[in-house]
Every structure is written in C-alpha cells, then in structure tokens.
Amino acid sequence: MLDLFDRRPIFLKSPKNRWRTGPLPPCKLVLPFIHPAMITFCNPHHALHQGQFEMFRGALVPCHEVPARADQVLAELQRRRLGEVRHPQPFAAAALESIHSPRYLRFLETAWSQWVAIDPANAAHDALPSVWPTRGFRADVEPDNFAARMGLYSFDAGSPLTSGTWVAARAGAECALSAAEQVAQGARAAFALTRPPGHHAGADFFGGYCFLNNAAFAAQHLRNSGRERVAILDVDYHHGNGTQAIFYDRPDVFFASLHGDPRTEYPFFLGHADETGHGAGQGTNLNLPMPRGTVYADWSGALDVALAAIRRFGAQALVVSLGVDTFVGDPISGFALRSDDYLRMGERLEAVGLPTVLVFEGGYAVDAVGVNAVNVLQAFA
Ligand code: 6XA
Ligand code: ZN
C-alpha cells in the first residue's frame, strides 16, 4: 500500500526494479496547497495526442511518446504530495505567434481536418510526412498538396500528427505560459507537466515528437514580463534544435544544452560544440555534446560548465527543458544516469538561485519516468 504522506525520494536501482500504478485520470486531482516552492501546471488534454506508429529504420513501430509518461509523473507528484497541481490558464493566440510563424500555426490547427477531408478513411490513422524540401528546394511557396505541406513543416517521420495533436499541444503551450506567469509573479519555481514535448519544434516545423516549443514560450513570456536576460538549460538527452534555432540570433536569451553527440544521436544535424550563436546572438549558445554511455560523474561536469556560463551571462530567470531520457534504462537514448542522480541534478539547478520554470520534455522508460522527473523537482523544492 502507498503511504500518501511519504515524501521520501525514490531510488530505482535499475530499470528492472519496477513499480506500477493503475491507469490514472488525466490531471483530475488538484491537491490542497502543500508545498510553497513548486506549483505544477498539468495539461488536461495531453492524452488527446496519442500517436499510433512512428517510422523507425524503415518500419512503423509503436510510439514511444505515450500518455502514460505524463500520467506517471503526475502520479508520483501526487504520491509525494509535492505541491499544488493546477490546470493552465488560457492565453491569446499572440503568445503562440511570439514563437511560431502564423503560417505554421494555421497549418497545425487545420491539419487534421485537411487530412480527413482528403479521404474520410484517413480518420483511422495518423498523418506522417514522407517528402521534404531539402537543400535547393523552395520553402517560401506553400504547396496545395497536403503531403507536401506536411513535409514543408516537419523534419522527420517519427512524429505522427493525430486528431488531438493541436488541442493537446496548444494546452501544453498554456501550461508553459502559466508556469512562466507564476514565476513572473514572484514564485521561486513552477513546473509545466505536458506532452507532446517541445524542444525540437522550431518557428515553423515539427519533429522529434514536438509540435509547439513549450520552453521557448516560457522564456519569451519571462522576457515580456520584464526579465531582461533569460537562460534556457536543456538537459534532455537529445539536442534541443528547435529552441536553439528560435533564439540563435538573440542576445537576450541564452541557450545551453547537454546532449548526446549529434554525430551519432538524434537530431543529428544540429547540436555541435561550434554552434555559438549568430549576429547579435553570438556567444549566447552553448552546446555540450557527450558520447553514448556518459555517466552522471561526467555529465555533471558539463552541467558545471553550462551553469557557470549562465551565471556569466547574467540571467535573471531560468527555463529548464527537463527531459529524463538521460536515464540508463531509457529505450531510445544512450546516457547512463541513475534515479538518485536526478536528486543531485535538482539540487544543482536549485543552487543557481534563479526563478525557474521547468518544462517536461523526453523520458521513455515509462516505469521510471515519474520517479526520475519528480526526484529533480523534489530536490529543487
Ligand atoms: C527519433 C527520436 C526522437 C527523440 C525525441 C526526444 N524518433 N527528444 O526525446 O528529446
Ligand atoms: Zn529526448
């Protein structure tokens, strides 16, 4: 039996040391005020985005990015009674347009109805792109053909667009914005618990399971709320190519990322150490790629480097892209962090001393994702 008042952190010794809970309703439970330091904004619509298959090595395989991921994090938050869980507040479309192009947003919002309008039978399966405008093609002309538009606005075939993608992604953006608003109002920290994740999504493209860039919304909202210099620290296993691209020429938003070396790891085509920013943003981008098999002792050395750079930048607020697919048991990633390492990580993030928005990203070892993510939050809180 679970002790609801037990707030001790959990240590999973190995991915085989499993625990399970039953199926959970989406964000139904709003706990009474328990912990002043961490408020969670949970996406009530995340489960509407439920892809069936993603393309992997020439075959359609079941999606790794599943609703149970967020359910497990919520269950663990509630089990440890780690602060209040709220639904997000609504935001105007302008907040979305501060990060994404109107053309892309219009496409995402209407894509499912266009897909089904081609053939009503399409309603039974998700839409995946299969053709892309690579070097030498034009991206300025939006094709009439739906498949061509899917390719124009994406960079992989691993991110199925479903009937509920827009509603889920939009509510996720509102979670990130609500968490940022909470911090802008003076909270020490807030957590956006949402999926689909966001850090691969660029101003006008989706990919890597991401459609709207939640961390970017949070950073921009903090800027709009008067924080003049904002840092984004991306600790997900995969490089946050979308976030980097969005802020690459901005002097006011620093982006630092710790990730698997793109020479061997997804997203492959961005995330190298020599990408340091452009134009007015020169010097505001820091990539720290690491080899497969990296353990916490080495990973935390890179964290030191990133945090020192964030301090030097003079950030007044911090956004953390909190992916926990750095876990040793993650099925699609290659680092070797253990569950108790996430406690150390949370302590280190807290010690930066900045108002902080944490945004949930990757993490696919479903049985451990709640423990790992909440270990960061608990140590932070
Ligand atoms: C390729 C792998 C997608 C990685 C998604 C992720 N299908 N990004 O976790 O952080
Ligand atoms: Zn990831």
Dump pLDDT digits (tens) for 73-127: 999 999 999 999 999 999 999 999 999 999 999 999 999 999 999 999 999 999 9
Sign of CA dihedral 15, 172, 242, 231: negative
**Alpha-carbon distance 363 to 30, whole Å?**
24
The DSSP secondary-structure symbol of 143 reads P
**Alpha-carbon distance 221 to 183, whole Å?**
10
Which residue CA neighbors atom 5 of ligand 1 most closely? Answer: 208
Residue 107's pLDDT is 98
**Alpha-carbon distance 244 to 241, whole Å?**
5
Residue 16's pLDDT is 33
Cβ–ligand 1 distance for 327 under 6 Å, the answer no
Cβ–ligand 1 distance for 158 under 6 Å, the answer yes
Q: Report CA(260)–ligand 2 centroid distance (Å).
A: 9
Q: Residue 42: enclosing H or E segment and its boundaries?
A: strand 39-42
Residue 3's pLDDT is 36
Residue 24's pLDDT is 38
The DSSP secondary-structure symbol of 202 reads B
Residue 201's pLDDT is 99
Q: Report CA(36)–ligand 1 centroid distance (Å).
A: 33
**Length in residues, the chain:** 381
Indicate which ligand has the atom closest to the C-alpha of 242. 1
Q: Report CA(125)–ligand 1 centroid distance (Å).
A: 21
Indicate which ligand has the atom closest to the C-alpha of 266. 1
Tokens of 68: 């149970």
Q: Residue 359: enclosing H or E segment and its boundaries?
A: strand 356-360
For residue 286, the number of C-alpha atoms closer than 13 Å in the C-beta half-sphere is 23
Tokens of 1: 């039996």
Q: Which atom of ligand 1 is nearest to the CA of 64?
A: 7
Report the SS3 class of residue 203. coil
Q: Which of 199, 192, 195 is nearest to 175 (CA)?
A: 192
232 forms beta bridges with 255, 319
**Alpha-carbon distance 136 to 18, whole Å?**
50
Cα distances (angstroms) measured from residue 182 to each of 42, 80, 101, 188, 314:
14, 22, 26, 9, 21
Cβ–ligand 1 distance for 325 under 6 Å, the answer yes
Residues of the chain with confidence (pLDDT) below 70: 1-36
Q: Which of 232, 236, 200, 206 is nearest to 219 (CA)?
A: 232
Residue range 194-248, pLDDT digits in tens: 999 999 999 999 999 999 999 999 999 999 999 999 999 999 999 999 999 999 9
**Alpha-carbon distance 313 to 349, whole Å?**
16
Task: Please say whether the beta carbons of 171 and 46 come within 8 A.
Answer: yes
Is 200 annotated in the active site? yes
* Alpha-carbon Rg for the chain in angstroms: 19
Query: Which of the following is catalytic: 200, 221, 238, 259?
Result: 200
Residue 129's pLDDT is 97
